[in-house]
A and B are shown apart, each in its own frame.
Chain A
Amino acid sequence: MGGCTMFLFRSVFSLRSLFWSTGLAVMVVGSAVARAAPPPEAASCAACHGAQGAGQAAANFPRLAGLPASYLAEQLHLFASGQRQNAIMSGMAKPLSSEQIKTLADYYSGLPVSMAAPAQTVPADLKSRGEQLAMLGDWKAGIPACFRCHGPGGVGVAPAFPALTGQSATYLDQQITAWKNGTRSGDPQGLMHTIALRMSDADTKAVTAWLAAQKPEAAVMGKTNQAGGAQ
Chain B
Amino acid sequence: MSKHIQQIKPVLTSILLASVAVVPMVSLAAVEVTPKSAPNAAVLTGSTFTPPDPSTIPNDEFGKMVQLGRNIMFESKKYAPQYVGNSLNCVNCHTDGGAMAGSAPLWGAWVSYPAYRSKNKKVNTFEDRLQGCFRFSMNGKMPPLGSEALVALSSYSYWLAKGLPTGDSKIAGRGYPDIPEPKQAPDFVRGQAVYEANCAICHAANGEGRMVNGTVVFPPLWGAQSFNWGAGMGSISNAAKFIYANMPYGQSYSLTPQQAWDVAYFMDGHERPQDPRWEGSVAATRAKYHDNKNSLYGTKVNGVLLGDTGAPKPFNQ
Known contacts A191-B250, A198-B39; is-contact A142 B23 (Cβ 8 Å): yes
Q: In the bound complex, how far is the Cα of B248 from the Cα of A222, in angstroms?
A: 22
Pairwise interchain contact A194-B34, C-beta atoms closer than 8 A: yes
The residue of chain B having its C-beta at the shortest distance from the C-beta of A180 within the complex is B30
Q: Which of B144-152, B206-214, B257-265, B277-285 sits within the interface?
A: B206-214
**CB of A92 within 8 A of chain B?**
no
Interface membership of chain A positions 193-230, coded 1 if the CB is closer than 8 angstroms to chain B and 0 otherwise: 11101101000000000000000000001111111110
The residue of chain B having its C-beta at the shortest distance from the C-beta of A221 within the complex is B213
**CB of A123 within 8 A of chain B?**
no
Pairwise interchain contact A152-B4, C-beta atoms closer than 8 A: no
Nearest CB in chain B: distance from A149 CB, A = 7
Known contacts A227-B208, A229-B206; is-contact A141 B39 (Cβ 8 Å): yes
**CB of B116 within 8 A of chain A?**
no
Residues of A within 8 A of B100 (CB): 139
| Total A-B Cβ pairs within 8 A | 131
The residue of chain A having its C-beta at the shortest distance from the C-beta of B220 within the complex is A227
Pairwise interchain contact A195-B206, C-beta atoms closer than 8 A: no
**CB of A113 within 8 A of chain B?**
no
Q: In the bound complex, how far is the Cα of B35 from the Cα of A60, in angstroms?
A: 30
Pairwise interchain contact B204-A231, C-beta atoms closer than 8 A: yes
- Dominant secondary structure of chain A at its interface with chain B: loop
Known contacts A139-B100, A155-B212; is-contact A197 B4 (Cβ 8 Å): no
Q: Which of A38-46, A47-55, A182-190 sits within the interface?
A: A182-190
**CB of B198 within 8 A of chain A?**
yes
- Dominant secondary structure of chain B at its interface with chain A: loop
Pairwise interchain contact A221-B212, C-beta atoms closer than 8 A: yes
> Within residues 171 to 210 of chain B, which ones have a CB less than 8 A from any CB in chain A?
197-198, 201-202, 204-206, 208-210
Residues of B within 8 A of A110 (CB): none
> Within residues 195 to 247 of chain B, which ones have a CB less than 8 A from any CB in chain A?
197-198, 201-202, 204-206, 208-218, 220, 223-225
Pairwise interchain contact B212-A200, C-beta atoms closer than 8 A: no
Interface membership of chain A positions 125-159, coded 1 if the CB is closer than 8 angstroms to chain B and 0 otherwise: 00000000000110111111000110110011110
Residues of B within 8 A of A120 (CB): none
Pairwise interchain contact A152-B215, C-beta atoms closer than 8 A: yes
**Of the candidates A137, A142, A143, A152, which one forms a contact with B217 in the assembled complex, judged by CB atoms under 8 Å apart?**
A152
Residues of A within 8 A of B90 (CB): none
Pairwise interchain contact A139-B26, C-beta atoms closer than 8 A: no
**Of the candidates B35, B225, B252, which one forms a contact with A197 in the assembled complex, judged by CB atoms under 8 Å apart?**
B35
The residue of chain A having its C-beta at the shortest distance from the C-beta of B41 within the complex is A139
Pairwise interchain contact A228-B223, C-beta atoms closer than 8 A: yes
Residues of A within 8 A of B54 (CB): 136
**CB of B256 within 8 A of chain A?**
no
Pairwise interchain contact B249-A227, C-beta atoms closer than 8 A: no
> Within residues 149 to 177 of chain A, which ones have a CB less than 8 A from any CB in chain B?
149, 151-152, 155-158, 160
Q: In the bound complex, how far is the Cα of B212 from the Cα of A68, in angstroms?
A: 12
**CB of A31 within 8 A of chain B?**
no
Interface membership of chain A positions 83-109, coded 1 if the CB is closer than 8 angstroms to chain B and 0 otherwise: 100000000000000000000000000
The residue of chain B having its C-beta at the shortest distance from the C-beta of A158 within the complex is B210
Pairwise interchain contact A194-B37, C-beta atoms closer than 8 A: yes
Pairwise interchain contact A195-B250, C-beta atoms closer than 8 A: yes
**Of the candidates B19, B36, B201, which one forms a contact with A142 in the assembled complex, judged by CB atoms under 8 Å apart?**
B19
Pairwise interchain contact B2-A139, C-beta atoms closer than 8 A: no
Q: In the bound complex, how far is the Cα of B223 from the Cα of A228, in angstroms?
A: 9
Pairwise interchain contact B201-A198, C-beta atoms closer than 8 A: no
Pairwise interchain contact B211-A227, C-beta atoms closer than 8 A: yes
Residues of A within 8 A of B26 (CB): 197-198
Pairwise interchain contact A194-B251, C-beta atoms closer than 8 A: yes
Pairwise interchain contact A139-B99, C-beta atoms closer than 8 A: yes
**CB of B96 within 8 A of chain A?**
yes
Known contacts A185-B4, A193-B34, A197-B34; is-contact A139 B23 (Cβ 8 Å): no
Contacts A144-B250, A152-B212 aside, 7 further interface pairs with beta carbons under 8 A come to A148-B249, A189-B198, A190-B2, A191-B249, A193-B4, A198-B26, A227-B209
A-B contact pairs, 28 of them (CB 8 A): A83-B2, A136-B54, A140-B22, A140-B40, A141-B23, A142-B23, A142-B40, A142-B250, A144-B249, A149-B217, A151-B217, A152-B213, A155-B212, A189-B3, A190-B3, A190-B34, A190-B36, A190-B251, A191-B251, A193-B34, A194-B34, A194-B251, A198-B250, A221-B212, A224-B211, A227-B225, A228-B220, A228-B225
